[in-house]
Structure 1
Amino acid sequence: MKQAGSVALAAVLAVMAGGVAQAQERDNTKTNPLSVREINENDIMMKKTLWRRVDLNEKQNQAMFSKNNQITKYLIDAVKAGVLVAYPNDSVNTPMQVEKFAEKLAVPEQTVALTAEEKAAGFGTEEKTNDGWGDAKDKKAAAKKPVDDGWGTPAPAAAKAKPVDDGWGTPAPKKKATAKNTKGKKGVKPAPVVPEVPKVDSSAMAKANPFTGIERLSDEFSVLDIKEDWVFDRKRSRLYYDIQTVGIVIPADKSPSGLETQVAYFKYKDLDKLFRSDPKKFIWYNSQNQAQHKNLADAFDLRLFWGRIYKVSNPKDRDLIGQYGSEREGLMKSYQLEQQLMEQEHGLWEY
């Protein structure tokens, strides 16, 4: 009995040891796949998701929007070249079709709709023109009648062209067109047949390259929509602004509808890779010292831009204007949030 009990105890200990070994082999580390510098979720002590609106025409942001070096221009050109993937929203789950992206860039057709009063007044309907000398119908009828030659009788219709008289009273016979060099010669080769050039299907070319229409100017894409995580890493005792996505927005004053238009969104991880692939091309323009232009990826890391907070993660997923009812209150709350985040960071360092 004692021997059987010791065997059972040994078996239980072996099973427990195996379970511990399996638990230790599991990988419990989880990171955000959109982060450029991944942080283990177990090391995150505090986190808030922020949405910022960056106006590139503001003085602090103009370094990203210098002439021929607009950041939005670089992103659009990268999508056209197939280097960058665009997404319809900041969730960046499903890629946007290239044809849809081309529609966002195209200049919208501005058609003016007539009101009921304008249509009743006769606007928008085609009218027959009258030169003041009679009705247009009379002119058409007169055109069908033969023209009077001035002697009271209508001029006869133009006769068919008669053969030319040779001066002897008989029409000159028609001469056969023969080449001088080939007259009387045998075995003359016929002229070579020129092959027809195949016609190019313009519709197929348009499908292959949808960026063939008239596009907006680069200066019209002057707003960036940035989604980022405010994260405090307890392991490194440091606060990070972890940018997740960057979107291109057409401002309301550049849109015919008078509303902001979202063009496309991009993973910031892809943008960081794109900017660092050519540091001399993708520059943050330094107006104070042209020898010290910075790469756009470094400019984002150094926070060399300013964007107003317009949304913070909340249960109902509302922006600040929707939460507080007016633009004025939303703007005031945005500045209060900036101060609260600074004080919260200071409190984490102090305590």
Structure 2
Amino acid sequence: MMNRPFFIILLILISRAYGQQENLSNSVTPIADGPPIDGYYLKSDMENRKVIPYSDIRSVDVMYSKRVWREIDLRERLNASFASPKSRLIDVLMRAIQAGELTAYDPTPTVEDPNGDSFKVPLNPDELMANLADSVFVPEFDKEGNQVGGTFQSGEFNADSVVKFRIKEDWIFDKQRSVFEPRIIGIAPLISIKAADIYLEPQPAFWIYFPEARHILVNKEVVNRNNDATGLSYDDVFVKRIFSSYVIKQSNPEDLRIKDYKQGIDRLYESERIKQDLMDYEHDLWSY
């Protein structure tokens, strides 16, 4: 005979499931248990997800390590989700910075930090927004309508101006776990700077420390052009490597970027060579 407390609990669960299903049905009667569900199924609870931590790595277990810088071009088809108006990555980062949930770091190169990506100097959110905002010239007129001057005032930051992101990551072989894997260290949006009516090469606007950003990205859903039921967060996209990118630099004694010694299409070939070298290293580990 069924235990009475267990039977009561079972009835409660069934009633809740039935009430939820009724809310999601094609009922033509008014819904009495709160606002209706926007759809015919409950989506994953993205807002309450928690970060899955990486496995710990001891320095004595690092058999091989190589630092790589790469760029994600949002104009590529596979990366279109990063620029979706519904959930743009730059909007996610900027809102978190303004809310004090993330720290932005100054990307300016120094003698101690030639690449400007060592997370040394935090940026004040107000100063950061002022630097990113487009300057607008506001003319001044006299009583007769003649322009007598004008001033530059800070406008609003144009998120559409960010078409690339730069990533700094380490490829590490952990002999304790026998795993060769990449781990992202930092992310930087790239913006074009205009000088003398000429747009210069895009430069980092700021750097974000990725381990800190994961707690924000894990609760932000990525919008897919072809499928609304992905259930993927930005943390999933970066950790699972669901993006297209090309290498612009690997660690080397001269601290050279690819563009410093390769030109034209040879830069792309060099980028692919570096990628292949990393894959070959992993393959050679298990060759007999």
TM-score tier after normalising by the smaller chain length: 0.5 to 0.7
AA of the residue aligned to 1:79: I
* 2:24 equivalent to 1:82: no
What is the root-mean-square deviation of aligned Cα atoms in Å?
2.8
**Paired amino acid for 1:100:** E
| Residue 292 of structure 1 pairs with residue 233 of structure 2 | no
Whole-angstrom CA distance in 1 between matches of 2:76 and 2:193: 16
Counterparts of 2:230 and 2:238 in 1: how far apart (Å)?
A: 16
* Higher Cα Rg, which structure: 1
SS in 2 for 1:246: strand
Q: Which structure carries more relative contact order (alpha carbon 8 Å, separation 6+)?
A: 1
How does the TM-score come out when normalised to structure 1?
0.56
- Superposition TM-score, scaled by structure 2 size: 0.68
Q: How does 1:217-232 map to 2 (within 5 A)?
A: 217-232=158-173
Equivalence for 2:183: 242
The counterpart of 1:104, out of the listed 96, 111, 131, is 131
Return the alpha-carbon distance in structure 1 between the equivalents of residues 72 and 192 of structure 2.
11
Identity %: 28
Decide whether the 8 Å contact of 1:48 with 1:231 is kept in 2.
yes
Query: Could you say if the C-alpha distance between residues 256 and 342 of structure 1 is closer, same or farther in structure 2, counting changes exceeding 3 Å?
Result: farther
Change (3 A) 1:254 1:77: farther
Tell me the SS of whatever aligns to 1:290. coil
**What SS does structure 1 have at the residue aligned with 2:94?**
helix
Amino acid at match of 1:216: F
> Aligned to 1:283, what secondary structure does the other structure show?
coil
Distance 1:222 1:288, change over 3 A: same
Which of the residues 66, 69, 93 maps onto 1:48? Answer: 66
CA deviation map 1:187-218 (0-9, x unaligned): xxxxxxxxxxxxxxxxxxxxxxxxx9422322
The one of 201, 211, 224 aligned to 1:269: 211
C-alpha spacing 1:256/1:249, structure 2 compared with 1 (3 Å):
farther
Distance 1:273 1:255 in 2: 41
Deviation at 1:251, TM superposition (A): 4.2
**Aligned residue type for 1:338:** K
TM-aligned CA distance change 1:283 to 1:219, over 3 Å: same
The structural deviation recorded for 1:266 is: 0.5
After TM superposition, where is structure 1 displaced by more than 6 Å over at least 4 residues in a row? Answer: 252-255
Note closer, same or farther for the CA distance 1:254–1:273 as it changes in structure 2 (3 Å cut): farther
The answer to whether the 8 A contact 1:320-1:330 is kept is yes
User: 1:228 Cα shift?
Assistant: 0.1
* Equivalent pairs, count: 215
Structure 1 spans left out of the alignment, 5+ residues: 1-34, 112-127, 129-211
Q: Which runs of no fewer than 5 residues in structure 2 stay unpaired?
A: 1-52, 108-116, 139-143, 145-152
Deviation, 1:103, is 2.6
Task: Name 1:39's counterpart in structure 2.
Answer: 57
